[in-house]
Amino acid sequence: MSILTFLIPVTLCMGAIGLAAFFWSLRHGQYEDLSGDAERILHDDDAPLVPAHTPRPPVATKETTK
Amino acid sequence: MMSNLTGAERTTAMTIAGFGALIGLAMAAAGHGDPMGVHGWIVLAFFGVLFFIVASALYSPEPVEDRALSYYDDPTKVGIILALIWAVVGMFMGVWVASQLAWPDLRFEGAWSGFGRLRPVHTSGVIFGFGGNALIATSYHIMQRTSRARMPGQISPWFVLLGFNLFCILAASGYVMGVTQSKEYAEAEWYADIWLVVVWVVYFILYMRTLSRRNEPHIYVANWYYLSFILVVAILHIVNNLAVPASWTGAKSYSLFSGVQDAMTQWWYGHNAVAFFLTTGFLGMLYYFLPKRAGRPIYSYRLSILSFWGIVFFYIWVGSHHLHYTALPHWVQTLGMTFSVMLLVPSWASAGNALMTLNGAWGKVRDDATLRFMMMAAVFYGLSTFEGSFMAIRPVNGLSHYTDWTVGHVHAGAMGWVALITFGSIYALTPVLWRRETMYSWKAVEWHFWLALSGTVIYVFSMWNSGIIQGLMWRTYTETGTLKFSFVDSLVAMHPYYIARAFGGLLFLTGACICLWNVVMTILHVPQKAPELDYPTSSEAMEPALPAAE
């Protein structure tokens, strides 16, 4: 099964890339405000709810994100 | 479409198309008398048409406004339409090959129309044509919205989308001509595979560049799912397609590996394609469109991130469960089986997370067929991942392997999970993308939902029955220790289920046709309604983002 000496390193390599990405996300504040992060995609505008040319009302959850 | 491109960009597009057409001409000349020559003409025609589309608009007015102040949606729109066209073609092929199993005369005596050639057209058509286009289109949408930034270029999104479709066309037309590597879900030959690598690298760079331009500090979890899809599929595709062409002027190639080594590579690829093509990308869709449509954040965002890393680290190891009771070393089979069972944890975490998000919004699920598509997708995701872990257990696999149970399992995932979440996302996305009030017909969405659901249930139940009957008949012994049933006996027993399967598929195909019609009618006939706040921004006051230096 010489193929395993090839496939297992390739697979471990992919795992290592994943691990590196995970540590990057950990160190760059990706997990600081999870509830705000989950909420914010809902407010980005695509839902055509706000009438034309009126300023968007402040959203409560935005305050918690910064 | 062309009005969003500057003169310089149009020239670049023409140069690329011209270069592609030259490659096509070279292939046609070199591969004369071989299917590769036919593919050369197809490449030439594909790039030739693109060249003339761009050339005919070369001197039309250029964009005057600052494009960085808006999202780039043109490629997404084309991608959605292409996905639906591929859905209709691929599902039609599926119904056809399913009918051939029930009524073999439907082959009509052609070499090209045999089951062995049409089945890969079906699988590639639905997985890559429908699924792949839907993934590319929705990823363009989600990466821009969640990053609150426009994609970095105007050409590369088109290059990825159209280049990927050229790959799909080369693959499907090749199968009909008998061109195949004989690797399931990786049948396309060497030049198409090389082309896909080029397209995929551009896709990855495009995604990373968009993320790096983001006006939002956090990278939303859907992007992680899409990124894993792009990155892992690239590696899988390259490793599994390592092959030596028999000659540079023909389509035939030989795999670098042989025997059980090749089988291991193939299923390392095959199951990871299920994982990273048919699961993570579509989970990205689920994690964006389901909260969006339900109007409530994902139940546990923390859990969505945990299940992402769980899936990434577990899935890679499970491929060997496709090779139970073969020449593959026993410990490698056990390894695959163990990780397959462990995989149930992150899979059910995602399915449960989706359903818990809807908990409290069941009224919306009742009234809104689009949301119901997404809910049923999560249910089928939970069902088929449980079934998958179960079937990966060696003794269970002894019964299920090589029977229609596997086919039923795959379709519970493909129709129930992948297709339903895609249709739900398309219905959620179409009005937003084309700035329409609603879909053209909500009744048609309802019809589609019930057709798709009943088609899936009929399909899966008939294959469960047929598969288990098959498995049991093959292992029934007489008192003297000989096999009780011949293979033909089991084939006769399956006939009614094959008819039921073809009928279930027909219902599903009808739903897909209704979806295409509904989307086209929405674009043509529903009044415009522009959202005022759909542009890149990092500002609390929702002012447009400062254009990135370009």
How close A9 comes to chain B (CA, Å)?
12
Quickly state the pLDDT bin for B11 (edges 50, 70, 90). Answer: very high
Which band of pLDDT confidence, cut at 50, 70 and 90, is reported for residue B535? confident
pLDDT value, residue B180: 95
Backbone angles phi and psi of B293, in degrees to 5: -70, -35
Identify the pLDDT of residue B324.
96
Q: Residue B356's pLDDT band (boundaries 50, 70, 90)?
A: very high
Hey, what are B175's tokens?
Answer: 């199968």
Q: Token pair of B139, please? A: 């990823």
> Cα separations (Å) of B370 from A43, B24, B102, B373?
20, 42, 34, 5
Nearest to B154 by CA among B71, B89, B92: B71
Tokens describing residue B116: 């062995």
Position A50 pLDDT exceeds 60: no
Maximal CA-CA distance, chain A? 67
Q: How confident is the model at residue B66 (pLDDT cuts 50, 70, 90)?
A: confident
Cβ of A44 under 8 Å from any chain B Cβ?
yes
Q: Which helix (H) or strand (E) holds B253?
A: strand B253-255
| Rounded distance between C-alpha atoms, residue B189 and residue B186, angstroms | 8
Complex-level ipTM: 0.77
**CB-based contacts of B463: which residues, under 8 Å, 6+ apart?**
B404, B405, B407, B408, B411, B497, B501
Share of chain B above pLDDT 70, in %: 97
The reply to whether residue B220 touches residue A41, judged by beta carbons under 8 angstroms, is: yes
Tell me how many degrees the CA angle B237-B242-B245 measures, rounded to the nearest 5. 125
- Mean pLDDT in chain B? 94
Q: Is A37 on the interface with B (CB under 8 A)?
A: yes
Is B159 in contact with B140 (CB distance < 8 Å)? no
The residue type found at B424 is G
Predicted local distance difference test score (pLDDT) of residue A3: 86
Class of domain B74-525: mainly alpha
B388-416 mean pLDDT = 96
3-state SS assignment for residue B254: strand
When computed from its CA atoms, the radius of gyration of chain A, rounded to whole angstroms, is 21
What pLDDT does residue A44 have?
60
Tokens representing B95 are 């119904």
pLDDT (mean) for B284-310: 95
B363 shares contact with chain A (CB less than 8 Å): no
Give me the pLDDT at residue B537, please: 73
Give residue-wise pLDDT tens across range B169-186. Answer: 999 999 999 999 999 999
Give B321 or B544, the one with higher predicted confidence.
B321
Set of chain A residues whose Cβ sits within 8 Å of the Cβ of B217: 29
Q: Classify residue A13 as exposed, middle or buried by CB count within 10 Å of its CB (0-12, 13-18, 19+).
A: exposed
Nearest residue to B511 (alpha-carbon basis) of B81, B91, B78:
B91
Average pLDDT for B230-235: 95
- Quick one: CA torsion of B171, B174, B180, B184, rounded to 10 degrees? 40
Query: What confidence tier does A1 reach under pLDDT thresholds 50, 70, 90?
Result: confident
Q: What is the arithmetic mean of pLDDT over B461-479? A: 96
The torsion region of residue B294 among left (phi > 0), alpha (psi -120 to 50) and beta comes to alpha
Count of Cβ atoms closer than 10 Å to residue A15 Cβ = 14
- Partners of A58 on chain B (C-beta within 8 Å) are 540
Q: How buried is residue B550: exposed, middle or buried, by Cβ count under 10 Å (0-12/13-18/19+)? A: exposed
Q: Which residues of A touch B541 (CB under 8 A)?
A: 55-56
Confidence of residue B486 (pLDDT cuts 50, 70, 90): very high
Query: Are B71 and B145 a contacting pair, CB within 8 Å?
Result: yes
Confidence tier at A47 by pLDDT (50, 70, 90): very low
CB contact under 8 A, A38 and B531: no
3-state helix, strand, coil in chain A (%, to 5): 60, 0, 40
Mean pLDDT of chain A: 73
Alpha-carbon gap, residue A27 to A8, rounded angstroms: 28
| Region label for A49, one of left (φ > 0), alpha (ψ between -120 and 50) or beta (otherwise) | alpha
User: What whole-number distance in Å separates Cα of residue B425 and Cα of residue B282?
Assistant: 10
- B264 with A56: Cβ contact below 8 A: no
Distance CA A24, CA A33 (A): 16
CA–CA dist B439, B437 (Å, integer): 7
Band of residue B490 on the pLDDT scale cut at 50, 70, 90: very high
Question: Which pLDDT score is estimated for B405?
Answer: 97
Mean pLDDT of B393-422: 97
Partners of B329 on chain A (C-beta within 8 Å) are 1
Go through B190-227 and write b for each residue having 16 or more CB atoms within 10 A of its CB, e for each that does not: bbbbebbeebbebbeebbeebbebbbbebbbbbbbbbb
The dihedrals phi and psi of B241, each to the nearest 5 degrees, come to -100, 15
Contact B269, B280 (CB under 8 A): no
Q: Tell me how far CA of residue A44 lies from CA of B88, B152, B376, B520, B538, in angstroms.
A: 33, 20, 26, 26, 10
The answer to whether the CB of A42 falls within 8 A of the CB of A59 is: no
Nearest-angstrom CA–CA distance, B129 and B408: 21
Residue, of B232 and B70, whose pLDDT is higher:
B232
Q: Quick count: other Cβ atoms within 10 Å of Cβ B66?
A: 11
- Rounding to the nearest 10 degrees, give the CA dihedral for residues B345, B348, B350, B351: 180
Return the number of other C-beta atoms located less than 10 Å from residue B497's C-beta.
Answer: 23
What whole-number distance in Å separates Cα of residue B265 and Cα of residue B186?
A: 12
- Residues of B whose CB is below 8 A from A35: 297, 301
Q: How do the domains of chain A map onto residue ranges?
A: 1-31, 33-66
The B residues from 139 to 158 touching A (CB cutoff 8 Å) are 145-146, 148
CB B231 within 8 A of CB B272: no
Closest CA to B372 of B293, B258, B295, B300: B293
Distance from CA of A28 to the nearest CA of B (A): 9
Residue B189's pLDDT is what?
96
**In this complex, do B316 and A15 lie within 8 Å of one another by their Cβ atoms?**
yes
Q: What is the band of B496 on the pLDDT scale with cuts at 50, 70, 90?
A: very high
Q: What is the pLDDT of residues B188-219, one digit of tens each?
A: 999 999 999 999 999 999 999 999 998 888 99
Task: Please give the structure tokens belonging to residue B13.
Answer: 């597009």
**Would you call A39 and B312 a contact, using CB atoms and an 8 Å cutoff?**
no
pLDDT at B454 over 90: yes
pLDDT score recorded for residue B134: 98
**Token match 């027909």: residue?**
B506
Taking residues A13-40, what's their average pLDDT?
90
Percentage of chain B beyond pLDDT 90 is 88
